[in-house]
Each structure stands twice: as structure tokens, then as C-alpha cells.
Structure 1
Amino acid sequence: MDVLINVFVGLHIIGIGALLGGFLTQMKAMGAGTARFTPAMLHGALTMLVTGAVLVGLNQAQDYSLNNTKIGIKLAFLIVILALVYVKRDDERVPKPLFGVVGALTVANIFIAVTWH
């Protein structure tokens, strides 16, 4: 079961990489006011949601201890990210503050995952 958990951790990291990578590739455009949400950002966030849910289930099945507060905060951030990216995915331009919120929540999600034990 640990191998399966590790596979889903890897997929979860790929999802965050797609989300953060999509954001970082639009940083210059954000400065010019022409940033948009890319398909990679939407697919990365969806990958994170699915793999995160699977990871919670697999860890509970193994009776590993989970920090439900941490998981809840990360899920709340991800839902906000998903909502913003999904609703604005077809817009040619996304306002700077909205685009910045997605980037900030993405980075916050990473730091919560890495530093909160």
C-alpha cells in the first residue's frame, strides 16, 4: 500500500507543478495586464484535488494519523483556486489581483504541505 501512496504523492506533486508552472509562465503577462489562466493550471488543480482525496483515503485505510485541520485548509485553498481558474478559464485577460490570489494561494498551499507537520 505504501507504494501506491507514493505513486499518488508523485502525481500530486505533478499537479502542483502544473498549477505553479502555469502561473509562473504568465508572470510577465500579469505585469502587462494580459495574463490568463492556462489549461495546465486547471488540469493541475484538478489533479491535486483528485490525488489529494485519494491520498487521504489511502492514509486512512492504513490507519496513519492525519492532520485534518491541515488537510481542510489545503482543501479550502484548492477549492478557491479551482473556482477562480474554472470560472475565468476562457477570459482573454484576468485581472492582476485575481491572478495574484491564485499564485499566492498556490504558494501558500505548497508551504503548508512542506512546513506544517
Structure 2
Amino acid sequence: MDVLINVFVALHIIGIASLLGGFLTQMKAMGAGTARFTPAMLHGAVTMLVTGVALVGLNQADSQPVDNIKIGVKLALLIVILGLVYVKRDEEKVAKGAFIAVGALTVANIFIAKLWT
């Protein structure tokens, strides 16, 4: 079971890298007012959602403790991120506030994952 959990952790990290990497590559465009949500950002958010749900299930099946409040907060942030990216994915330009919100929520999600014990 540990190998399967580690595979899903790796896939979860790949998803967050895709989401955060897409954000970081658009930083210069954000300064120019032409930032947009890339397909990689959407796919990264969906990957995070699917692998995160799988990780919770696998950890519970393996009788490992799961902090449901932490998972709920992370899920709420991810749903906001996913909603913003999905709704605005076809727009040529995304408002600076919405774009910054996605980046900030993504970074907050990372810090919650590592610092909330």
C-alpha cells in the first residue's frame, strides 16, 4: 500500500507543479495585462483534485490518521482554484486579481500541506 500511496503523492506533486508552473510562466504577461489560464493549469488542478481524493481514501484504507479539517480546507481552496481556472480558461485576458488569487491560493495550499501538523 505504501508504494501506491507514494505513486499518488508523486502524481499530486506533478499536478501542483503544473498549476504553479503555469502561473509562474504567466507572471510577465500578468504585468503586461495579457495573462491567461493555460491548459496546463487546468490539468494540474484536476490532477490535484483526483490524486488528493485518492490519497485520502488510500490513507484511510491503510488505517493511517487523516486530519479531516486540514483536508477540508485544502479541498475548499482547490475548488476555488479549479472554479476560477475552469470558468476563465477560454478568455484571452484574465483579470489581474483573479490571476493573483489562483497563484496565492496555490501557494497557500502548498504551505497548508507542509506546515499544518
TM-score (norm 2): 0.99
Whether 1:68 and 2:68 are equivalent positions in the alignment is yes
Q: Find the aligned partners of 1:53 and 1:96 in 2 and give their Cα distance.
A: 30
Aligned to 2:28: 28
* Percent identical residues: 78
Q: Find the aligned partners of 2:59 and 2:94 in 1 and give their Cα distance.
A: 37
Whether 1:44 and 2:44 are equivalent positions in the alignment is yes
* Uncovered stretches (5+) of structure 2, i.e. residues with no partner: none
* Uncovered stretches (5+) of structure 1, i.e. residues with no partner: none
Equivalences for 1:1-117 in 2 at 5 Å?
1-117=1-117
Q: Find the aligned partners of 1:74 and 1:111 in 2 and give their Cα distance.
A: 10
User: How many aligned positions are there?
Assistant: 117
Q: Find the aligned partners of 2:82 and 2:14 in 1 and give their Cα distance.
A: 16
1:10 Cα deviation (Å)?
A: 0.2
Q: CA RMSD in A?
A: 0.4
Q: Find the aligned partners of 1:67 and 1:31 in 2 and give their Cα distance.
A: 38
Equivalent residue letter for 1:46 = V
Q: Find the aligned partners of 1:60 and 1:80 in 2 and give their Cα distance.
A: 25
1:13 Cα deviation (Å)?
A: 0.2
Runs of 4+, deviation exceeding 3 Å = none
1:9 Cα deviation (Å)?
A: 0.1
1:112 Cα deviation (Å)?
A: 0.4
Equivalent residue letter for 1:111 = F
1:106 Cα deviation (Å)?
A: 0.2
